[in-house]
């Protein structure tokens, strides 16, 4: 009995030694290949193994977790966050890209992601309704010439008469149309007018109702989500006064969607401003064939959540920072 027990223990020790030897060999091969950038043939000569044997050892090292490969390109997508966002909010699609270590104020990383999304879906988007703003300007800037052919671009809400940055609605629509070898239909009216009567008069003009109806029929709508605050284009342009901004914040507004200010549950934050807002309505966004919202950064988490929970977009393009804040809310 004693002899048998000694033989068993000896066998276990031998197996452990073999495992250690194997692990050491896998580590040795992996370090030479991935850290020293040596070829499989060169490593094989040193270790007296064939190149094909080295290849199998590298595969084994990856399977054992000794080697872990990560994609670290700035536009590499965070698929686990995309899945979580789709599941939680019932999104048709979600694109989440990494947040740069030093994010630029214009959120160029999500602008590039949105441009990539448009290019990938160009065959199913022959007409595109667009809003405007810094993020849309970024998208328009990075869309390459020839990203599609014959695109019909429609401006879906009024613009602003002045801005500290070149973010006019006409520039955005025409730039996207030009790069897509298409044409733009503009809506040359203010986003928010001073009087309700002015809006009513505009809506009696045939061209306004025609442009808006064309926007409703578009294959997709593309717009950004704006955080509430003095730095927003609507405030800086004078479309929303400082007094109105204070009132919106007091009423619980968390941002704007196509110039419509909403609260956390997606309802209108201020009925007076809403009655003077020109463009597609919130219900139009909910009824769109494909409503693509683009927003990034922790400061956009509240408006992103509000838009998602109230069904204002079916596609979200965002970054890791914003997505994590939304999911943790």
pLDDT tens sequence across 187-238: 999 999 999 999 999 999 999 999 999 999 999 999 999 999 998 889 988 8
Residue from 190, 224, 23 nearest 110 by CA: 224
For residue range 57-96, what is the model confidence (pLDDT) as tens digits?
999 998 888 887 665 555 578 899 999 999 999 999 999 9
For residue range 266-301, what is the model confidence (pLDDT) as tens digits?
999 999 999 999 999 999 999 999 999 999 999 999
Which residues lie below 8 Å from residue 189, measured CB to CB, with a gap of 6+? 158, 159, 202, 208, 278
Residue 3: pLDDT band (50, 70, 90) is very low
pLDDT top residue among 328 and 101: 328
Whether this prediction's pTM lies above 0.85 is answered by no
Q: Which segments of the chain does DSSP mark as H helices, in order?
A: 2-30, 40-47, 51-63, 79-89, 108-120, 134-142, 169-179, 196-203, 206-216, 233-236, 242-250, 271-275, 282-287, 301-309, 320-328
Q: Hey, where are the domains in the chain?
A: 2-63, 79-328
Quote the pLDDT of residue 196: 96
Quote the pLDDT of residue 77: 83
pLDDT score of 24 more than 50: yes
Quote the pLDDT of residue 164: 47
pLDDT score of 252 more than 60: yes
Quote the pLDDT of residue 75: 57
> Regarding the domain delimited by 79-328, which CATH topology (the fold level of the hierarchy) does it fall under?
Rossmann fold (3.40.50)
User: How large is the average pLDDT for residues 252-267?
Assistant: 96
For residue range 100-152, what is the model confidence (pLDDT) as tens digits?
876 665 567 899 999 999 999 999 999 999 999 989 999 999 999 999 999 99
Neighbours of 181 (CB within 10 A): 13
- Any idea which architecture 2-63 has in CATH? Orthogonal Bundle (1.10)
Lowest mean pLDDT among 2-6, 25-29, 52-56, 189-193: 2-6
């Amino acid at each position: 009995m004693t002899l048998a027990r000694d033989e068993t223990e000896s066998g276990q020790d031998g197996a452990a030694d073999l495992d250690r030897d194997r692990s050491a060999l896998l580590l040795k091969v992996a370090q030479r290949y991935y850290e020293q950038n040596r070829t499989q043939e060169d490593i094989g000569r040193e270790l007296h193994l064939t190149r094909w044997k080295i290849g199998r050892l590298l595969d084994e090292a990856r399977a054992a977790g000794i080697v872990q490969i990560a994609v670290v390109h700035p536009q590499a997508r965070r698929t686990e966050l995309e899945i979580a966002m789709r599941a939680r909010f019932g999104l048709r699609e979600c694109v989440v890209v990494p947040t740069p270590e030093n994010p630029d104020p214009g959120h160029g990383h999500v602008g590039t992601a949105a441009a990539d999304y448009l290019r990938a879906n160009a065959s199913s988007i022959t007409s595109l309704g667009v809003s405007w703003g810094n993020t849309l300007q970024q998208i328009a800037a990075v869309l390459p010439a020839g990203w599609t052919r014959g695109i019909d671009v429609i401006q879906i809400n009024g613009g602003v008469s002045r801005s500290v940055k070149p973010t006019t609605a006409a520039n955005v629509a025409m730039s996207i149309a030009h790069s897509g070898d298409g044409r733009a239909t503009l809506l040359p009216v203010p986003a928010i007018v001073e009087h309700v009567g002015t809006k009513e008069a505009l809506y009696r003009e045939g061209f306004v109702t025609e442009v808006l109806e064309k926007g409703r029929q578009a294959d997709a709508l593309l717009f950004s989500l704006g955080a509430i605050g003095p730095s927003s284009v609507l405030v800086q342009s004078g479309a929303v006064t400082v007094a109105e901004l204070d009132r919106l914040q007091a009423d619980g507004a968390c941002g704007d969607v196509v110039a419509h200010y909403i609260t956390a549950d997606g309802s209108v934050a201020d009925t007076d401003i809403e009655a003077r807002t020109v463009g597609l309505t919130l219900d139009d966004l909910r009824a769109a064939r494909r409503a693509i919202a683009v927003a990034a950064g922790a400061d956009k988490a509240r408006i992103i959540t509000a838009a998602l929970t109230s069904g204002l977009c079916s596609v979200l393009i965002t970054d890791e920072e914003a997505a994590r804040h939304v999911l943790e809310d």
